[in-house]
Amino acid sequence: MSIQKIDSKTLRQKVYEELRHKIIYGELLPGQSVTLRNLAEQFGVSFIPVREALWQLETEKVVLIERNKSFRVNTLTARELEEALSIRLVLEARVAERACEVRSDDVVPRLERLLKDMEKSANRPREYLLKNSEFHFTIYNAADMPVHMQLINQLWARIGPYLYIQAKEMIPIMRSNLYHNKMAAALAARDKKELVKMLRQDLTAAARFIKDRLD
C-alpha cells in the first residue's frame, strides 16, 4: 500500500480523508488488517492523528479497531447489504429527482465527459471506480441537499470496497455503463421518472452482484 506523506495542517482530517479514500476504492479490502504503527509510518505522522481518524471511521462503521493496536476494514453481511441497498434506493433516488429540478446547465457536459472517461478506464478498476463515483456525485451534488449527501457518503464508504470487486469484471461494467448513459440522458431531459428508474437498476444490479459473492 503506497501512501503519500502528509503535511502538518489538520492532520487528523487529512489522515481520515486519505484512509477513507483507500478503503472506498479498494486499496484496503474488507477484512484486511493494518497496524497503527505501519499506517503512522507511511503517513509520516504520530499515532495521535491516525488514532483519531480511525475513531471517526469506526463511528461510521467503516473500520473496526482491534486491541493489538491495529484495525481492520469492516465487512458486510448479505443482510446488511440488502438493508444498505434499501436505504440507498430512497436517498439517492430523492436526490436525483431534486437534481433534475435544479441542476445547472454545466452538469450535463460534465457527465458526458465522465461517461467517456469511464469507457476508457473499464479495464482499470480503481480508475473506473473514481470516475463512477464522480459521475454519481456530480448528479447528487447538483441537488444541493447536504443532509442527504452526508448520509449517502456514509453508505458509499461501506459499499465502496465491494464495488472494486465488481469493477474487476467486464460484464457488470458494461451493464453499468448502459445505465449511466441512460441516466445522463434522463438528467439532460429533466426526466425524473427515467432517471430514478435507471439509477435504481444500476444500484440494484451492483448489489446483486456483490451479494452473490458474499453468499
User: Residue 20's domain is classified under what CATH number?
Assistant: 1.10.10.10
Range of the domain at 56: 11-73
Which amino acid does the sequence have at 121?
A: S
Q: What is the largest CA-CA distance in the chain?
A: 55
Q: For residue range 143-190, what is the model confidence (pLDDT) as tens digits?
A: 999 999 999 999 998 888 888 877 776 666 777 889 999 999 999 999
Residues 6+ apart with CB under 8 A from 97: 192, 195, 196
pLDDT over 90 at 26, yes or no: no
Number of helical (H) and strand (E) elements in the chain, helices listed first: 9, 3
Residues 69, 103, single domain; the answer is no
Q: Does the global pTM surpass 0.75?
A: yes
Look at residue 4 and tell me if it is in a domain.
Answer: no
- Which is more confident, 92 or 24? 92
Does residue 27 carry a pLDDT above 90? no
pLDDT digits (tens, 9 = 90+) for 59-69: 999 999 988 78
Among residues 95, 101, 34, 87, the alpha carbon closest in space to that of 62 is found at 34
If one counts the domains in the chain, the total is: 2
Average pLDDT, the chain: 89
d(CA 144, CA 91) in angstroms, rounded, equals 13
Residue 27 and residue 96 in one domain: no
Q: What is the mean pLDDT of residues 37-62?
A: 90
Query: Helix (H, G, I), strand (E, B), or coil: what is residue 70?
Result: strand
